[in-house]
Structure 1
Amino acid sequence: MPEIAPLPADYAAWLADLKTRIHGAQQRATLAVNRELVLLYWQIGRDILERQGREGWGAKVIERLAQDLRNAFPDMKGFSPRNLKYMRGFAEAWPDGEFVQEVLAQLPWYHQLALLDKLKSADERRWYAAKAIEHNWSRNVLVMQIETRLLARQGQAVTNFPLALPKPQSDLARESLKDPYRFDFLGLSDEAQEREIEHALVKHVTEFLLELGAGFAYVGRQVLLTVGGDEFFIDLLFYHLKLRCFVVIELKAGAFKPEHLGQLGFYLTAIDRDMKSAHDNPTIGLLLCKTRNKVVAEYALGDKTQPMGIAEYRLVESLPAELQTSLPSIEQIERALAGDVDDEQP
């Protein structure tokens, strides 16, 4: 058996670099194909809109067009009557071709369908599209964020950030917190106690991080602090990569009480003195409670100099009735498109 020549010393590093470059090229190629597909679909939709307005095209013309395009391009999918109607709706929802080319073309076609089916407001569609691009959301994550009303909840926690933090950190910190937080993925009842909730959040830390939002990194649960020989335990500790600071989260199973902030402030001081490095910003505290009176929360934060926020959490929450009736679920969309799912791929 012939001997295998030894590999050069730098072979492994070179191979890893090649894999990275090949993967990057594949991603760029996929993005380029998607971009052209989205632009093509928008152009087709715009043409259909124009001809319908000018010549009074009806549904039968769409069906004939779908048949003719399929016959002309048998190897190209995406020309079902349903998808052509989506193209028309896409062009109608986004009349600004420059915006489609520069922004929306970064999102796959399935994302475009979710924006069209789940949202009725152009401003909301723009906001969710921008967030999907910024955070590289999958289609399923995008739908989840829409259905849990992220736009309405983001930046709604009661905080003292404008007074306790300098700009622009205060703005970023405010936008990093929500109210309320939805923990219905835990499968717990409204009667669950603090330790039960805390344990479940760590068990489902991936979903928890998704609900917290971009930038949060999990540090630990029941983090030990030793102060003057006494031991104290922080419910949950995170580090925010964009804010460059620790985030202490304390859970309260009942209603908010002003004295809760004293305990939270003590933890912030201990973290700042014992764990924070010279490069970190001041630690932020988030008190999550089952209920809170907004006026009481604002008064309680009025004289606090440490950055803190107060928000509610929901263990069980369903969509509003009007949302349930007016918007189909993603499963309903997929069932409706059962015959055309493959058609919507490049």
Structure 2
Amino acid sequence: MGNYILYHQQQQGWGSKIIKQLAKAIRLNFPEKKGYSERNLTYMCQFARSYPLNVLQSFIDTDARLSVPTIQNVTNEVLKLNDKQFTQELTAQIQSTVCQPLEITQEVPAQFQDVEKTVSAIYRMGIREIEKVFLTSPVSKINWASQMAILDSSLPLGISYWYMKQSVEMGWSSNVLKIQIETNLYSRQISNNKVNNFTATLPAPQSDLANYLLKDPYIFDLAGTKEKADERDIEEQLVKHVTRYLLEMGNGFAFVARQKHFQVGNSDFYADLILYSIPLHAYIVVELKATPFKPEYAGQLNFYINVVDDKLRGENDNKTIGLLLCKGKDEVVAQYALTGYDQPIGISDYQLSKAIPENLKSALPSIEEVEEELTSFLDKDKNP
């Protein structure tokens, strides 16, 4: 539909009002059809303009090269898409097909009274070829609401492609996709430097996959948590909202246990959280610290990895991985702290997001209003 409108804007000189006329014509002639509002038709044009044939084909080619994703090759492919020049015009694409360009002289409402004629007209413009490539590309795998979220974000082409792929693989709804874009998941998972020893302690390609799945920082929505939350408070909230927690962890993580008890010698130990990663086929031991990273934290986590390896790991499981979540870290200190450990450990920051419900936002004062009130109060205090 977007290509149909763009084509006639170029060939027939259709003006900006055509979208409004089309929306009205569809509403009058096909009242049972939904999703063809003026706003949606505008998005369809934006969609068609964003993903012409050569872009769709580049997505397909990129998809084939990323069958085993790693930080490096994902970054390379995203940058390649961002830098690539896509200059082929829509009209040139349509006219380069075996079909001849269409001459339409009827008024818009009259065109829509004959569905078969309209559809065949679109096909004669070469839309069949566009549709064929479209259905093979990753763009066709996510729903329309998610497409609008990506179009609204104005992301570079390569990063848009990455979010599409993630949305399909993770099964995100459009609302979840919006949150991931707003919290800059691409930077947290791909472009940020990560502190771990996976390359030295895990075989390839498991080390690459573990590094790819790790985020820094993690962002947990924990409304209701105290401002200065300790480890137990955070654990309580993470377990209470386990679905959202696993969503932030990534695809294929299963919850195993919280405060898992292990008796080692004559002593009792409790691991904060234990997950299982299906893509890695490995247990993940998560230790939560409500303070910035300290070198001794790595030693404690290394101990728990050894215990889980001995007590839980089966013969078909890969090496257990440790994830240390701290309230900040010095990356140089953290990297030094991992040197010498044989067990795979990743160290990431975490942030606690306390989103304000939409229905309360309007009732709360803005930052500017608070500052103005404080200034007024201080002035009165100085000049009673």
TM-score (norm 2): 0.68
Structure 1 CA distance, aligned partners of 2:11 and 2:222? 50
Contact persistence 1:249–1:286 (CA under 8 A): yes
Equivalent in the alignment of 1:101: 135
Q: How does 1:106-185 map to 2 (within 5 A)?
A: 106-155=141-190, 156=192, 157-185=194-222
Q: SS of the counterpart of 2:290?
A: strand
- Residue 16 of structure 2 corresponds to 59
Distance 1:174 1:49 in 2: 43
Counterpart for residue 7 of structure 1? none
Give the Cα separation in 1 of the matches to 2:207 and 2:318: 11
Match of 2:46 among 76, 89, 98: 89
Per the alignment, residue 237 of structure 2 pairs with 200
> Which aligned segments of 4 or more residues in structure 1 are displaced greater than 4 angstroms?
none
Contact 2:199–2:208 (8 Å) recurs in 1:
yes
Deviation, 1:79, is 2.4
Asked whether the 8 Å contact 1:180–1:313 carries over to 2, the reply is: yes
1:264 is matched with 301
Partner SS for 1:247: strand
Mapped partners of 2:307, 2:22: distance in 1: 69
C-alpha contact (below 8 Å) 2:226/2:233 kept by paired residues: no
Aligned equivalent of 2:67: none
1:233-262 alpha-carbon deviations (Å, 9 max, x no partner): 101111111111111111111110111111
SS of 2:222's equivalent in the other structure is helix
- Shifted more, 142-151 versus 67-76: the winner is 67-76
Aligned length: 277
% identical equivalent positions = 47
Instruction: Check if 1:285 corresponds to 2:322.
Output: yes
Taking the aligned partners of 2:254 and 2:245, their CA distance within structure 1 comes to 11
- Aligned partner of 1:30 in structure 2 is none
Partner of 1:251: 288
C-alpha distance in structure 2 between counterparts of 1:101 and 1:239, whole Å = 34
The one-letter amino acid paired with 1:212 is M
Tell me which of 229, 234, 245 is aligned to 2:266: 229
Can you list the C-alpha shifts for 1:143-184, whole angstroms capped at 9, x where unaligned? 222122111111543111111101111111112211101123
CA distance in 1, matches of 2:133, 2:183: 26
| Residue 9 of structure 1: aligned partner | none
Max Rg structure: 2
Equivalent residue, structure 2, for 1:220: 257
Counterpart CA distance in 2 for 1:81 and 1:305 is 60
Distance 1:310 1:186 in 2: 24
User: What displacement does 1:190 show?
Assistant: 4.2
Counterpart in the other structure of 2:311 = 274
1:222 is displaced (CA, Å) by 0.9
2:60 aligns to what? none
| Cα RMSD (Å) | 2.0
User: Can you list the C-alpha shifts for 1:271-324, whole angstroms capped at 9, x where unaligned?
Assistant: 111221111111100010001011111111122221000000111478xxxxxx
Q: 1:316 to 1:105 in 2, by over 3 A?
A: closer
TM-score by length of structure 1 reads 0.75
- Residue 234 of structure 1 aligns with an amino acid whose one-letter code is A
- 2:354, 2:13 → 1: CA distance? 45
Gapped runs of 5+ residues in structure 2?
54-129, 359-384
